[in-house]
Homo-oligomer: A and B are copies of this chain.
């Protein structure tokens, strides 16, 4: 009987806790869906500041803006973490065309971040199209030498998760120049990383390997890629011309921006929620990743507005340099280690400001099970996809310190329509979808703080 009573008590306590939690989570959603300034913050970041590639004046303005915003919101502590960042600049916009006999057809390209420039006169060379590195290597130096290698393997449209489709294609962008240069190519082009068919070239980072000649590389729009591919079938001997003016300057000083609400019971245990402040130079960086930044700040604002006093310290971190170096993420983990900070968990939003679907978890099976036990509290808000997954680039370096990583998973269908292009604009973010993301992150962090892991 005693046992039964104990069981009963446990059960009712559990039920009571769950009901309290569901009330608090409802309050979090109500607050954010009614009073959130996050959409206006995003407007400021994207429209007043705009592009903010690491090392640019836009990036510095974004640092100042987010520091001032968090100070104005009255967070307990707001501070900067200095990091040195790569400083790549595009220079004048690229020029490119297909020279098919007497016909010259201009196509939209964008130099990849980290690429060298062409010579000031540009490059003109025959083109060899491949779908992957295997195919390139089979062609051999004889067929590649002196040419522009054109990587044209599309993202797989049948993947429901577009990030998987991206992962399956982005090696072409990252390593394409090096693989082509090994066989004597003079330049490289890559089909833009998107399933959309349009005229927007999608930039993004690439890297060179030591000991291999550096050749310039650019992304070509998907429509441009289709046209080039079709033209090559008709006229294999056509040439492609491109000129780009980018260069890598010495590393620049920049910052992560951190704001925190100090924990009431365990102030030395930290939960991070963050996004990255830098964007590509062509983009307003609305989905990538202005959304993640304002959502993270909004989590703390909503806690304050609702009088939620977390036991642990909650930190909003605006990471610098996710796009082309990850120096902010690496630097943050270094600071944490140096200062013996204990991080419980880190949540990142860097998949766009779309309707929430869930969270990916990087942790032990037990930690994952603990988090998945909250599903009944989160499913009413459309958060059905909570389980093993990926965390986020910026919080990744914290994994070595045993920190549980949580990647916010919004609906992924539209993300790569905008990613790294001039159309990643404020107007493509929906206010409600952005707010629901912030609310989902706040609900998760409320539970992480209350129950630990």
Contacts and interface: CB of A to CB of B under 8 A. Distances in A.
Contacts of A384: 379, 384-385
B157 A34 contact: yes
Interface residues of A, number: 27
B357 A34 contact: no
A29 B436 CA distance: 28
A413 B382 CA distance: 11
A440 B434 CA distance: 25
Given A355-B411, A382-B357, A158 B433 contact: no
Contact of A195 (B196, B381, B432): B432
Nearest to A197: B431
Contacts of A158: 29-30, 33-34
B33 A355 contact: no
Q: Most B CB atoms within 10 A — which of A29, A196, A384? A: A384
A160 interface: yes
Contacts of A382: 160, 357, 385
Contacts of A436: 160, 413
A429 to B, nearest CB: 11
B34 A431 contact: no
A199 interface: no
A30 B157 CA distance: 8
Contacts of A33: 157-158
Contact of A160 (B29, B157, B357, B413): B29
Contacts of A411: 355, 411
A268 interface: no
A436 B432 CA distance: 22
A414 interface: yes
A432 B30 contact: no
A152 to B, nearest CB: 17
Interface in A121-173: 157-158, 160, 162
A94 interface: no
Interface in A24-74: 29-30, 33-34
A82 interface: no
Nearest to A31: B158
A352 B380 CA distance: 21
A159 B202 CA distance: 36
A37 to B, nearest CB: 13
A29 B355 CA distance: 22
5 contacts: A29-B158, A157-B432, A160-B382, A160-B436, A162-B432
